[in-house]
Structure 1
Amino acid sequence: MSVCAAAAVLTTAGCNGVAVQVSYRNADLVAMSRVDKYLALDDAQDAIARRQMQQFFVWHRYEELPEYSRWLRSLKPQFARPMSTDEFERVIAELERRADRSVARFAEDMAPVVTSLQPRQLAHMRKAMDERTRELTKEYLDPSPAKQREERFDDLLRVAERIWGSLSAEQKRALRAASDARPLDHALLVAERRRVQDDSVATFAKVQKLALPAPRAAGELIALYDRTRPSPDPMRRAYFDQVMRGSAVALAQLSASATPAQRKHALEFLESLATDFDELSRRKVVASRAE
C-alpha cells in the first residue's frame, strides 16, 4: 500500500515543484491511512508500522530519488527527438523494474507488521478489500463502452499534456484514434482484481497461521507481488500486454508529431521532476510523526 502511495507521488508530473515536494513529504501519512483502513492495527502495531513506514521512505528518499533524477535526465536526449514504440516500452519497463525494487524493500520493512496480524484483522482485511472491489467493479463496469473509452482517453491525454504541454486539435484526434485502437475489456481488470484480492488474503493468512519470521514473511509478500505482474492468467496477461503496447504506440505517434516547443516542454518537464527529486533527497527527514 505504501508503494502505491509512493508511485502516486512519483506520477504527479502535472504539479509544480512545491506540490510535488509537499505530496512526497505527506506520502507516509497517506500510506498509513490506507494501511489502517485495510488492517485496523492496534496501538502497538500502529507504532511499529509508522516506524517501519518511515524507514522505507527514508530509504526511498535517499537511495531511490537520486537514481530517479539521474534516470530522468538520461531520458532527455530521447525526448529531444521522435521516439519509437520500442523506446517507450523500455521506459515503461524501467519504471516497472524500479517499482520491483521498491516493493522488495517495502516488503522487508513492513514484514514485522504483517507477522503481528491477528485473525480478526485478516477478517477485517477481507471485508475492506471486498468493499473496495465492489466499488471498482461499479466504477469500471457501470459506464457504457463509449464512456469507458472516453475516460481512458482522458487519462492518456493527461499524461501526454504533462509531458509535451498543450496539444493541437489534430494531435488530440490522432491520440484519440490511437487510444481507441487499444483493446478494452474492463471485465478482465475486475477479474484480475478479485484474483489478487483472494491471493493477498491467502498469503497474509499463511504468514499468520505458520507464524513465519519476518524474513520469510517478506519473501511471501514479494512472491505475492510477483504473481500480480504479469498476471498468471494467459488471457489477462495478453490483454494487459496489448494495452501497454497500444499506449506505447500512441505516445510514439505523438512524439513523432511534437513541435519544437513541445519537445522543449518535455525536456523542461523531465528536468523539473529531476530537480524536485534532487531537492527532496537533500532534505533531512524529520522525526517520525507516529511518535
Structure 2
Amino acid sequence: MYTFHEAASGQGAMHRPPAASRKDGIIARCLLLITLALALTACSAVRLAYNQAPSLGYWWIDGYTDLNDTQSTVLRRDIDAFFAWHRSNELPLYITRLQQWQQLAGIDSRPDLACEQFAQLRAAYLRLIERGLEPMARLALSLTPAQLNHLQRHHAKENREFEERYLNVSAEERLNNVLERATDRYETLYGDLTDAQLALLRERIRQSPFDPQRIQAERLRRQSDLIGTVRELQAARPANEATAAAALRGWHARVMRSPTPGFPAYSDALVRAGCEQFAALHNTTSPEQRANAQRVLRGYETDLRALTSEPH
C-alpha cells in the first residue's frame, strides 16, 4: 500500500500511500502523518506513531513556520480535533481497505486493479485535506512575513535535497536512488526480493516517464503558488476563514491538477506507470512472499482495530 503514494508525486516508482505531493506545504505534511504511520516496518509501531501523530504534526508545522504562543495553542487544539475525527471516521474505512488488500495480496494483479486501489487512496487523502482546510486557513491568516520567509527557507532546503538526489547525479545514480526507495517499500510488504525481481524493478524504473527536471519545476510552482496564495489572503480586506479556506482549496486543486500545460497528462502517465510496475512485480511474487504481505497487512489491521477501541 505504501507503494501507491509517490506514484502521484512523480518519482517513477510506486511508494507510499495517499497524496499528491509529499513536500508542497504545511497542509499536506500535517494530514499525511497517518499515512506515514502505515508505512512503518513494524506493525506494533503503528499504534505508537498514530498516538504520537498529533504532537509530531504540531512540531512538524512549527519547524516550518516557527509558531508563536497564540498560534501554538490554536494549532494544537485543531490538530487534536482533526485526529479525533480521523480516528472515529477514517480508521474504520482503512480497516475495510486492509481486509480487501489481504485478499488481493493472495492473487495476481493487473494495472487497472492497482490503479483502482490508488484511486481509493487518493479519495481518502482528499477527505483529509477537506477536513483540514478550516484549521489550516486559520493558521495561514495568522502567519507573519517572517514566518512565511521561514517556510520558504525550508522549501529551499528541500529543493536542494531533491536536486542532490535526482538532478545533480548521473542517470545511473538517479536510477539507483529511485530503486533503493522502491525496494525498501516492496520488501516491507513482501520480504526480500529475488535478483530477478530486482532486475524487473530496475528495468521498470528505467522505462518510467519520471523526469526530475519537470518534477522540480512543478514543485517550485506549487511552493510559489502556496506562498502567493497566503500573501494575497493576508492582503485582502476583509480576510476571514471562509475565504481563506476557499483559497487554499483552490491552491490544492492546482496541486492535484497542475495548470502547467501538459503536466496533468504527464502526472497521469506516472500513475499509470506505477500501477503497471506494481502489478508486474506482484505477479512475480512467490506464495511465501504473498503470505508475508498478508501477514503485514493483517498486522496493520490489528493495530488499527486496537486504535479504534482505545479511549481518546
| TM-score higher than 0.5 | yes
Q: Identity rate of aligned residues, in percent?
A: 28
In structure 2, the partner of 1:221 is 248
Q: 2:286 aligns with which of 259, 264, 269?
A: 259
In structure 1, the partner of 2:218 is 192
Letter in 2 for 1:72: L
* Deviations 1:146-176, CA, capped at 9 Å, x for gaps: 1111111122222222222222222222222
* Deviations 1:194-241, CA, capped at 9 Å, x for gaps: 001110001111221124222222222222111111322233333332
Give the Cα–Cα distance (whole angstroms) in 2 for the partners of residues 10 and 125 of structure 1. 27
Where do 5+ consecutive residues of structure 1 fail to align?
A: 286-291
In structure 1, the partner of 2:37 is 9
In structure 2, the partner of 1:103 is 129
Give the Cα–Cα distance (whole angstroms) in 2 for the partners of residues 216 and 231 of structure 1. 21
Residues matched between the structures, number: 283
2:209 match: secondary structure: coil
Contact 2:165–2:174, Cα closer than 8 Å, also in 1 = no
Tell me how large the CA RMSD over aligned residues is. 1.8
Q: Does 1:123 align with 2:149?
A: yes
* Deviations 1:60-99, CA, capped at 9 Å, x for gaps: 1221111101111123332221010111111112111110
Which has the higher mean CA deviation after the structures are superposed, 60-69 or 174-183? 174-183
Alignment of 1:165-184 (within 5 A): 165-184=191-210
Change (3 A) 1:168 1:138: closer
Give the Cα–Cα distance (whole angstroms) in 2 for the partners of residues 192 and 54 of structure 1. 32
Give 1:110 deviation, angstroms.
2.9
Give the Cα–Cα distance (whole angstroms) in 2 for the partners of residues 205 and 159 of structure 1. 38
Give the Cα–Cα distance (whole angstroms) in 2 for the partners of residues 74 and 235 of structure 1. 35
Q: TM-score, normalised by structure 2?
A: 0.84
2:32 match: secondary structure: helix
Contact 1:153–1:180, Cα closer than 8 Å, also in 2 = no
Q: TM-score, normalised by structure 1?
A: 0.90
Where do 5+ consecutive residues of structure 2 fail to align?
A: 1-28
Give 1:49 deviation, angstroms.
0.8
Contact 1:79–1:266, Cα closer than 8 Å, also in 2 = yes
